[in-house]
Amino acid sequence: DYLCGDAGGDSLTGGLGRDAFAIGNGTGGMTLEMADVITDFVPAEDVFDLIPSLGFGDLSLVQNGADVVIQNRVTGEFLARLQGVDVPSLTQADFV
């Protein structure tokens, strides 16, 4: 499945199998509430499709309780909140 929430906070669920979640400049917002909530991201199975002009080095991955918050370190935009995921389980290979 290929999922893109566009601008603002959306709830995205890919379901079983390999999923791709699109994130990039303009797909989140300047508050955590405006980030897309991804309910079932599976590291090493699912991937993030980084929309052009955004690279892995532009991202900040921060643990927030049981979730990971992905933020654009350049603009400060909150891009996604991954429910039930730990930062150490994510690698650069999860971002394409």
CA-wise closest residue to 21 among 44, 41, 64: 41
Which CATH number does the domain housing residue 65 bear? Answer: 2.150.10.10
Full residue range of the structural domain in which residue 83 is found: 2-94
DSSP label of 95:
B
Residues 39-93 have pLDDT tens digits of 999 999 999 999 988 999 999 999 999 999 999 999 999 999 999 999 999 999 9
Q: What is the pTM of this model?
A: 0.93
Predicted local distance difference test score (pLDDT) of residue 56: 96
Query: Domain count of the chain?
Result: 1
Using CA atoms, how far residue 65 sits from 1, 10, 40, 56, in Å, is: 27, 20, 16, 22
